[in-house]
Amino acid sequence: MKRSLHRILALLLTTATLASGCANAADGQKTKDSSGGGSKDAIKIGVFEPLTGDNAAGGQLEMKGIKLAHKLYPEVLGKKISLEEADNKSDRVEAANAAASLVNKKVSAVLGSWGSSLAIAGGPAFKNAKIPAIGTSCTNPQVTEGNPYYYRVCFIDPFQGTVMADYAYKTLGKKKAAIFREKNSDYSVGLAKFFQEQYQKLGGSIVATFDYQTKDQDFNAQLTNLKSAGAEVVFAPGNFTESALLVKQARQLGIQLPILGGDTWETPQLIEVGGKEVEGVVFSTFFDKDHPLTAETTKFVEAYKKEYPGEDIAAVSALAYDAYLMVYKAIEAAGSSDPSKIQEALGKVKDFQGAAGIVNFDDNRNAIKDAVLKTVKDGKFTYMDVVKIK
């Protein structure tokens, strides 16, 4: 009996020890999952991107850059950095909600978004909470106008529109242009406006303007009218999917005019959807992996190839990487993760060395940087030239 009692007590002790060990393991896993690999006192950086919806392809490309930067620079001031993701779902209303959720999580700073309309929608929440945000590839001037807490690492559309108008008029020698606008996109409408202003200033004329909506798939009506408009070149700064369909249908209708676009075109979906018909299109972008501008460019490219083998490196991935790195450096310089201290440090940025080049800010916290021209050749995005800002 005494022997049996000892066995029972030993069994109970073993069971309790195992249960305790399992509970501790579960608690440890829960902490890791909820903090992005950091402890509960980790420094929180918000990630404000379209991870689902029409702009998801762009958002996912930027996530790759952010996560790579986080892997290379995981700690600052002796603390781990936790990425707090908020999916703005490619929708203005959802973007405002996503921004509010990041404010509620008390993040120290925010990265994003792909898509100017989404950044504009989220901006007021960051401004009211006095949390600095670094725009990645949101190029519309309205993102930072009137919002002292929004910065960006990309150039803006007045410059991009000028670059493409100069290319159409001066390089191609085309004097008559037609414009296609994605009417419910702040980015598309704004960039079309800046292209038109510069093109007309040079002496060119806009012979036709055609509008369409996001998610449209049939452009035959507009393209049929284009054939009789007398245009010599087309500027179509829309989202990648609609733009690919537009170009594809134009070529299928026998329209062989030069077709130009903006930075949103540099996503794999443009080539996947457009196929051989998008060969020869020309667009402006921010970066080219084969033309390093800083030591950080080389570091980024080498790390990206290792992390995502076989994948092309999109400019927006480099910009997102830079946005993270800029916040990291600002926290380091401030010696604090307090948003007000980070904001103060960002205001002192000078000659920031990023993967996508050197960044300085103008009075509206927009990046002053050069543009890159690319084309599609043999099914790949191909470097053409760099256009330096004057």
pLDDT tens digits in sequence order for the chain, 390 residues long: 333 333 433 433 333 333 334 333 333 333 233 334 345 689 999 999 999 999 999 999 999 999 999 999 999 999 999 999 999 999 999 999 999 999 999 999 999 999 999 999 999 999 999 999 999 999 999 999 999 999 999 999 999 999 999 999 999 999 999 999 999 999 999 999 999 999 999 999 999 999 999 999 999 999 999 999 999 999 999 999 999 999 999 999 999 999 999 999 999 999 999 999 999 999 999 999 999 999 999 999 999 999 999 999 999 999 999 999 999 999 999 999 999 999 999 999 999 999 999 999 999 999 999 999 999 999 999 999 999 887
Model's pTM, two decimal places?
0.86
pLDDT of residue 250: 99
How would CATH label the architecture of 158-285?
3-Layer(aba) Sandwich (3.40)
Dihedral in degrees, nearest 10, Cα atoms 315, 321, 325, 326: 50
pLDDT of residue 389: 85
pLDDT of residue 390: 76
Length of the chain as a residue count: 390
How would CATH label the architecture of 43-155+291-369?
3-Layer(aba) Sandwich (3.40)
pLDDT of residue 40: 66
Strand order in the sheet with 282-285: 205-212, 176-182, 233-235, 259-261, 282-285, 371-377, 380-387
Q: Which of 147, 152, 145 has the alpha carbon at shortest distance from 125?
A: 147
> pLDDT for 22-81, tens place per residue?
333 333 333 233 334 345 689 999 999 999 999 999 999 999 999 999 999 999 999 999
Beta-sheet pairing, 357-361 with 352-354: antiparallel
pLDDT of residue 41: 87
Alpha carbon distance 278, 308 (integer Å): 25
The answer to whether 155 and 137 have CB atoms below 8 angstroms apart is no
Q: Which residue has the tokens 């002292």?
A: 148
User: Cβ neighbours of residue 65 under 8 Å, at least 6 residues apart?
Assistant: 136, 304, 316, 317, 318, 319, 320, 321, 322, 324, 355
Give the residue extent of every domain in the chain: 43-155+291-369, 158-285
Do 43-155+291-369 and 158-285 fold alike per CATH? yes
Alpha carbon distance 346, 351 (integer Å): 12
Q: Which of 198, 84, 188, 66 has the alpha carbon at shortest distance from 138?
A: 188
Beta bridge partners of 80: 75
